[in-house]
Amino acid sequence: MDDGERILPTYLVYLTTLAFKTFVEEQVDVAVIEVGLGGRFDHTNLVEDPAVTVVTGIHLEHTERLGNTIEEIAWNKAGIFKPGVPAVIAHNIAAGAMRVFEHEAELVKCPLFVAPSLHELRSWTANDPKVLSQLDACIKDLPVSRSTEINAPLALAAVYLWSSRSAVCRENIDFKPLVFDGLSGLQPPLSFGLDAKQLQGLSSARWPGRFERIELGAGLTIFLDCAHTNESVQFAAEWFQRESVATTAEKQVHLCQHEYFCNLLTLT
């Protein structure tokens, strides 16, 4: 307070506080908490012992706050690593960022895992035609995008690591959990099986505003994506070209902010 003036929290502080209050009051079994900006100094980075931490990718974004290099941004994102808590990162992380993650994992004494690629996932199930067919059907039902090929295996890896730390899962699911005691730094490649529940969860995943197609009728279709980085805009442009190829009507492209993304959009 200053001369009777109220000091209000920022939007992200308010939203984070409200979210955690709701989680506690509703007694949620699992809370998936997405970092707002970076990680190390983010408002969400207050959970001392999360079940697992995940880094989806490194891009040159929010450079005014996170740094002007991939390495600086990786250092900020590695701030969510916690002692003894497994961390998993996408398989396509750049070499410079990877070195930062390995160093930070050793420093914090955190076991670091790299998620498999979609090709590796398929190779693990090659001996079980039924599971392989289910996996391919799941991937087919998801939006066709290079980001899906990266994020789907990452999500499955995160669930596997979470399951290894969940007493409920260990009692009710037939799988071999990992033991993380004493592990630190980069770990051997992950390998895990897939069951019907995991595949059902993967096939039912939907992200409103990401690779979303909305049919309004009368020949009007909206292709909606909230991409805001160079890479995600490229993925969105590729998806739009592929999904709209059969559309003969005139196409209108609307961008919100970030005019420099226009250079990436060469649509035919």
For residue 267, name the pLDDT band (cuts at 50, 70, 90).
Answer: very low
Residue range 162-188: average pLDDT? 76
pLDDT of residue 220: 80
Q: 211 and 130 in contact (C-beta within 8 Å)?
A: no
For residue 258, name the pLDDT band (cuts at 50, 70, 90).
Answer: low
**Strand, coil or helix: 130:** helix
Please state, in angstroms and rounded to a whole number, the distance separating the CA atoms of residues 199 and 210. Answer: 20
Say what percent of the chain tops pLDDT 90. Answer: 33
Q: Is pLDDT at 4 greater than 80 in this prediction?
A: no
Which of 191, 213, 34 is closest to 124 using CA atoms? 191
Please state, in angstroms and rounded to a whole number, the distance separating the CA atoms of residues 236 and 231. Answer: 9
Q: 94 and 69 in contact (C-beta within 8 Å)?
A: no
pLDDT digits (tens, 9 = 90+) for 25-46: 999 989 999 998 888 999 899 9
Chain-wide mean pLDDT for the chain?
Answer: 82
Q: Is pLDDT at 107 greater than 90 in this prediction?
A: yes
Amino acid at 207: W
How many contiguous H segments (helices) and E segments (strands) does the chain have?
A: 10, 6
Q: Is pLDDT at 138 greater than 80 in this prediction?
A: no
3-state secondary structure 31-95: CCCCCCCCCCCCCCCCCCCCCCEEECCCCCCCHHHHCCCHHHHHHHHHHHCCCCCCEEECCCCCH
pLDDT of residue 101: 97
pLDDT digits (tens, 9 = 90+) for 157-167: 999 899 888 76
pLDDT of residue 268: 38
Say what percent of the chain tops pLDDT 70. Answer: 83
The residue extents of the domains of the chain are: 11-204, 212-267
Of the listed ranges 5-9, 103-107, 114-118, the least confidently predicted one is: 5-9
Most confident of 5-9, 37-41, 122-126: 37-41
pTM: 0.81
For residue 239, name the pLDDT band (cuts at 50, 70, 90).
Answer: confident
For residue 105, name the pLDDT band (cuts at 50, 70, 90).
Answer: very high
